[in-house]
């Protein structure tokens, strides 16, 4: 095509250059990069000074030359890139919408130039250019977020070059702001959280403990660890946060710095509450309440974090209500939640507070008389939280939950009332689907299972209501299974209690469909999670409480195994896995380790020491700064013991160390004596007084499986080969 106007031809060349640039970003093919550079060079050569896109052409060419330099370091290419970048910025007006992009592009070139000449001035100029670019972009643009990430990187490089703490502090602040602005469903959020954690750790390791800001640096680091735990699910992050916060509080106590101490104490309260979700230790909740009271007592009401302190106590009281069932705990939680709302001045804090209030009023509706006024308050507060900018998946899941409850609670059968009910249920499902899509962007997030259960509950409600004309379909059940089945995998880092709930939801659905194989698969998965529900580091009463939430689970699993046609010894395996979970922790540590002692005395000594710590009763007193009744030391011992057992199993001849014996081997070892096992589902006693499934050893090599026992009458019987 022939162009009479050189500027028109330059525009076409620039367009082709941009196409090759985009293709290079996808293919990483150097030929595409060379073609992009050639076309942009020709476009720049032909564009007149009056060409409106001339600065953009220079900027694009500068970026491509930088990419060429990164592949083939050439000082001339870098110099040309800088010259073009500066010229493009000079020819762009102060109010031109492309000017921030030009600034940020030049800052990239200057950062690369620093790596060649090690001139700190290059980094300082790059940082200032990026700051100016950020200030010229509106808050809502994604590009502004990428600028913040780049600026944090520049400030981190400045710190590495100068060891000036102000640069590291700025790197942390910009990273934190980038994390705050990143949506939960953004795949870049975990990486930004990781960057934040690394920079915070660097700051506290290179700062003297006597530095007036050291305690606050540690506090920020602890908050970063807790955020990372939420996204990645590593319990060690929570434990490290607790230990670091305890250390910081001790340091703050020496200097009588009440402001710093109250902030760290508030963070410690949060960390201990999070640990409760992992361990179920009641002592953690009691300590968290104590710390929350201390924070509220020492923090001035005008402090910007005073609302956060109120919120912390409210959240902890809500969990305490869930544990003890005392209505006064829930009422106190609402009281402090309302106080938090009254004192919250920052928009993001208000959004969090209203979300918490929505949960509290919804909980009050469910457990305290089912008053519609409470449910309306729950929905109103959840909507207000979203309006204030809370766009995390938790906000949508909470609102979805209460809208479903509204559908179920409504008694209005008028045409208008039925239409409103249908709208509530449809919106609930839409919000839950949206929340799940966002949560899946962070596959290891702790709340993934709860979000999946929220959607499953809404879909099941619609399915059950199909006979009333609410549009439920068989596809709802199919969708539930699609959502929940992947959540039983090892990649799901949700707490064990949530994964057990997922498994039982799948089992209930499968049982209504008569699919006993699927019931067996789901209940078997639930049984495997039971030992993790009852960690060794907590007291026996805490272990018993955790397990009491799922009575008869092992019996149900064994019954479904027999019903689905599994071998009796497989059912027996499930029964044994689910019974005596607490005592088995201790019995497995009391094995004969003489062979280990002879072969690897160091490993044997470590095993005995860690076993002694876990076998000892937790101390009755509460330590001053979050000892959790000695839980921190016991938690470390349990973690170390797990790692030690893995190490022992890697040694020659010890691959089955502490593993259960093979059932087939046990059966081969018996003689002619009978094996009798009676499995009573749902209840523990009296054995023959309730419905259940029985396995009775009838003769060597045979097993009599009796089903549907009612009182002392056996309705049917069948023989099964062991």
Q: Which pLDDT belongs to residue 425?
A: 93
Of all residues in the chain, the percent with pLDDT exceeding 90 is 27
Residue 399 belongs to some domain of the structure: yes
Beta pairing, strands 713-721 & 693-699: unpaired
Whole-angstrom distance, CA of residue 535 vs CA of residue 539 = 9
- Nearest Cα residue to 206 out of 239, 166, 176, 255: 166
Whole-angstrom distance, CA of residue 70 vs CA of residue 77 = 10
Q: Do 287 and 278 meet the contact criterion of CB atoms below 8 Å apart?
A: no
Place of tokens 């457990």: 367
Mean predicted lDDT score pLDDT of the chain:
79
Residue 607 belongs to some domain of the structure: yes
Structure tokens at 391: 């766009």
Whole-angstrom distance, CA of residue 407 vs CA of residue 420 = 8
- Nearest Cα residue to 564 out of 697, 720, 359, 350: 720
Question: Is the preceding omega at residue 679 within 30 degrees of 0, hence cis?
Answer: no
- Nearest Cα residue to 524 out of 476, 484, 576, 483: 576
Top-confidence residue, 162 or 107:
107
Place of tokens 């054995």: 687
Give, rounded to a whole angstrom, the gap between the first and last alpha carbons of the chain: 84
Structure tokens at 318: 């809500």
List, as one string, the DSSP characters of 52-98: TTHHHHHHHHHHHHHHHHHHS--HHHHHHHHHHHHHHHHTS-TT-TT
Q: For the ranges 48-57, 106-115, 143-152, 371-380, which has the lowest average pLDDT?
A: 143-152
> Residue 537: pLDDT band by 50, 70, 90 thresholds?
low
Q: Which long-range contacts does 323-330 make (Cβ < 8 Å, 24+ apart)?
A: 323/282, 323/285, 323/545, 325/367, 327/367, 327/368, 330/360, 330/363, 330/364, 330/367, 330/368
Place of tokens 């059966």: 667
Residue 255 belongs to some domain of the structure: no
Whole-angstrom distance, CA of residue 1 vs CA of residue 708 = 87
432, 435, 437, 439: CA torsion to nearest 10:
-130
What's CA 711's distance to the chain center, in Å? 47
Q: Of 4-13, 14-23, 253-262, 605-614, where does the model show the most confidence?
A: 14-23
- Nearest Cα residue to 227 out of 196, 201, 203: 196
Whole-angstrom distance, CA of residue 665 vs CA of residue 643 = 28
Structure confidence by residue, pLDDT tens digits, 625-643: 444 446 667 767 777 777 8
Can you tell me the mean pLDDT for 693-713? 36
- Nearest Cα residue to 657 out of 604, 696, 707: 604
Structure tokens at 623: 């330590």
Residue 376 belongs to some domain of the structure: no
**HEC secondary structure over 89-118:** HHCCCCCCCCHHHHHHHHHHHHHHHHHHHC
Q: From the CB of residue 49, how many other CB atoms can be counted at a distance below 10 Å?
A: 6
> Residue 720: pLDDT band by 50, 70, 90 thresholds?
very low
Residue 349 belongs to some domain of the structure: no
When divided into structural domains, the chain yields a total of: 2
Question: Which of 612, 629, 660 corresponds to the end of one domain?
Answer: 660
Top-confidence residue, 5 or 189:
5
- Nearest Cα residue to 89 out of 58, 61, 46, 121: 58
Residue 634 belongs to some domain of the structure: yes
Q: Is the model's pLDDT at 687 over the cut of 80?
A: no
Whole-angstrom distance, CA of residue 270 vs CA of residue 282 = 15
Helix (H, G, I), strand (E, B) or coil at 559: helix
- Nearest Cα residue to 288 out of 634, 632, 542, 626: 626
Q: From the CB of residue 346, how many other CB atoms can be counted at a distance below 10 Å?
A: 13
| Residues 6+ positions from 496 with CB-CB distance below 8 Å | 529, 530, 532, 533
Whole-angstrom distance, CA of residue 332 vs CA of residue 351 = 20
Whole-angstrom distance, CA of residue 190 vs CA of residue 227 = 9
Q: Return phi, psi of residue 537, to 5°.
A: -80, -15
Structure tokens at 616: 């000892």
Whole-angstrom distance, CA of residue 16 vs CA of residue 243 = 58
Helix (H, G, I), strand (E, B) or coil at 283: helix
What's CA 491's distance to the chain center, in Å? 12
Q: Do 507 and 527 meet the contact criterion of CB atoms below 8 Å apart?
A: no
> Residue 197: pLDDT band by 50, 70, 90 thresholds?
low
Q: Which pLDDT belongs to residue 705?
A: 39
Question: Which of 660, 695, 716 corresponds to the end of one domain?
Answer: 660
pTM of the predicted model, to two decimals?
Answer: 0.67
> Residue 686: pLDDT band by 50, 70, 90 thresholds?
very low
Print the domain residue range for 446. Answer: 392-494
Give strand pairing partners of 696.
Answer: 704
Residue 611 belongs to some domain of the structure: yes
Residue 195 belongs to some domain of the structure: no
Structure confidence by residue, pLDDT tens digits, 378-431: 999 999 999 988 888 899 999 999 999 999 998 888 888 888 999 999 999 999
Q: Which pLDDT belongs to residue 316?
A: 94
Q: Return phi, psi of residue 436, to 5°.
A: -65, -40
- Nearest Cα residue to 382 out of 367, 394, 373, 370: 394
Place of tokens 């003297």: 208
Question: Which of 633, 660, 687 corresponds to the end of one domain?
Answer: 660
């Amino acid at each position: 095509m022939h162009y009479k106007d050189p500027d028109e031809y330059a525009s076409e060349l620039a367009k082709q250059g941009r196409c090759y640039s985009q293709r290079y970003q996808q293919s990483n093919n150097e030929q595409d990069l060379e073609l992009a550079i050639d076309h942009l060079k020709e476009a720049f050569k032909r564009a007149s000074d009056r060409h409106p896109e001339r600065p953009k052409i220079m900027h694009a060419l500068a970026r491509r030359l930088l990419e060429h330099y990164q592949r083939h370091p050439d000082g001339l290419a870098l110099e040309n890139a800088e010259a073009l970048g500066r010229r493009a910025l000079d020819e762009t007006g102060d109010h031109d919408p492309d000017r921030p992009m030009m600034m940020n592009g030049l800052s990239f070139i200057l950062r690369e130039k620093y790596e060649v000449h090690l001139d700190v001035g290059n980094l300082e100029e790059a940082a200032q250019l990026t700051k100016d670019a950020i200030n010229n972009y509106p808050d809502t643009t994604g590009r502004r977020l990428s600028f913040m990430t780049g600026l944090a990187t520049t400030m981190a490089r400045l710190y590495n070059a100068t060891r000036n703490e102000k640069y590291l502090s700025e790197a942390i602040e910009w990273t934190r702001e980038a994390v705050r602005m990143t949506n939960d469903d953004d795949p870049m959020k975990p990486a930004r959280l990781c960057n934040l954690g690394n920079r915070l750790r660097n700051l506290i390791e290179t700062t003297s403990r006597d530095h007036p800001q050291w305690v606050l640096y540690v506090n920020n680091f602890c908050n970063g660890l807790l955020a990372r735990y939420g996204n990645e699910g590593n319990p060690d992050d929570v434990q490290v946060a607790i230990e670091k916060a305890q250390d910081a509080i001790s340091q703050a106590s020496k200097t009588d710095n009440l402001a710093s101490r109250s902030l760290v104490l508030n963070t410690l309260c949060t960390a201990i509450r999070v640990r409760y979700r992992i361990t179920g230790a009641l002592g953690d909740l009691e300590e968290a309440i104590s710390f929350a009271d201390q924070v509220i007592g020492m923090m001035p009401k005008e402090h910007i974090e005073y609302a956060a302190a109120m919120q912390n106590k409210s959240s902890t009281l809500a969990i305490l209500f869930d544990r003890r069932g005392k209505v006064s705990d829930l009422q106190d939680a609402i009281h402090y939640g309302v106080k938090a709302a009254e004192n919250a001045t920052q928009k993001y804090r208000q959004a969090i507070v209203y979300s918490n209030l929505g949960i509290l009023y919804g909980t009050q509706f469910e457990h305290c008389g089912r008053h519609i006024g409470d449910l309306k308050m729950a929905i109103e507060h959840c909507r207000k939280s979203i309006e204030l900018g809370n766009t995390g998946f938790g906000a949508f899941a909470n609102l979805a939950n209460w809208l479903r409850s509204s559908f179920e609670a409504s008694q209005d059968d008028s045409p208008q009332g039925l239409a409103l009910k249908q709208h509530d249920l449809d919106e609930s499902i839409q919000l839950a689907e949206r929340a799940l899509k966002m949560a899946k962007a962070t596959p290891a997030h702790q709340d993934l299972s709860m979000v999946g259960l929220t959607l499953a509950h809404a879909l099941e409600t619609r399915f059950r209501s199909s006979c009333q004309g609410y549009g439920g379909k068989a596809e709802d059940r199919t969708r539930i299974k699609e959502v929940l089945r992947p959540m039983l995998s090892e990649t799901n880092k949700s707490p064990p209690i949530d994964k057990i709930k997922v498994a039982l939801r799948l089992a209930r659905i499968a049982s209504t469909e008569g699919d006993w194989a699927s019931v067996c698969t789901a209940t078997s998965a639930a049984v495997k999670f039971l030992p993790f529900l009852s960690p060794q580091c907590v007291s026996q009463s805490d272990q018993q409480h955790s397990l009491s939430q799922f009575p008869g689970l092992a019996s149900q699993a064994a019954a479904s195994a027999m019903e689905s046609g599994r071998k009796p010894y497989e059912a027996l395996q499930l029964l044994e896995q689910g019974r005596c979970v607490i005592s088995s922790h201790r019995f497995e540590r009391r094995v004969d380790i003489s062979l280990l002692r002879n072969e690897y005395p160091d490993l044997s000594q470590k095993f005995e020491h860690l076993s002694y710590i876990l076998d000892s009763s937790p101390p009755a007193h509460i330590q001053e700064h979050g000892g959790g009744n000695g839980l921190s030391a016991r938690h470390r011992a349990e973690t170390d013991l797990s790692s030690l057992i893995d190490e022992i199993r890697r040694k020659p001849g010890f691959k089955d160390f502490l593993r259960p014996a093979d059932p087939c081997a046990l059966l081969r070892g018996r003689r002619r004596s009978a094996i009798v096992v009676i499995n009573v589902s749902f209840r523990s006693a009296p054995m023959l007084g309730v419905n259940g499934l029985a396995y009775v050893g009838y003769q060597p090599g045979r097993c009599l499986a009796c089903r549907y026992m009612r009182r002392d009458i056996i309705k049917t019987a069948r023989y099964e080969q062991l």
